[in-house]
Amino acid sequence: EAGVTQFPSHSVIEKGQTVTLRCDPISGHDNLYWYRRVMGKEIKFLLHFVKESKQDESGMPNNRFLAERTGGTYSTLKVQPAELEDSGVYFCASSQDQGEDVEAFFGQGTRLTVV
């Protein structure tokens, strides 16, 4: 069974450009999470989808970030326009449920560099 897949693995863009990151969760996983690690700091929660609905987007840094999950399958995270401080590794995770003892599986991350 395929794990959580993220595209691209690396992206280098100029300040002011737009970038779209994609996450394909494990098939059948209703819950999808986005996280970000900036500059070797802690990994921070961005938002949580249950199917196509945003259950919690309290971690989204500002309105330059737009996450979607049309049809409740894959998700995209768009940054527009990108700023230097958006550089970091963006992780996606998925889980079948939200309950205790339901493990979340992480992708390999997308390393975004804004120059």
Q: Which residues, in sequence order, are bridge partners of residue 91? A: 35
- C-beta of 52: minimal distance to other proteins in Å? 18
Comparing CB distances to other proteins, the nearer of 57 and 68 is 57
Check if the beta carbon of residue 35 is closer than 8 Å to that of residue 52: no
Residue owning tokens 């259950």: 55
Closest of 23, 48, 24, 26 to residue 98, by C-alpha: 48
* Under rule CB under 8 A, residue 7 binds other proteins: no
Check if the beta carbon of residue 49 is closer than 8 Å to that of residue 25: no
What 8-state DSSP symbol labels residue 71? G
Point out which span in 19-27, 43-51, 66-74, 76-84 binds other proteins (CB under 8 A). Answer: 43-51
- C-beta of 40: minimal distance to other proteins in Å? 7
26, 107, 112, 114: which one binds other proteins (CB under 8 A): 107
Q: In the range 85-104, which residues lie near other proteins by CB under 8 A?
A: 89, 91, 93, 95, 98-104
User: How far is Cα 74 from Cα 112, in angstroms, rounded to an integer?
Assistant: 19
> Residue numbers of the site for other proteins (CB under 8 A)?
3-4, 9, 31, 33, 35, 40-45, 48, 55-56, 89, 91, 93, 95, 98-109
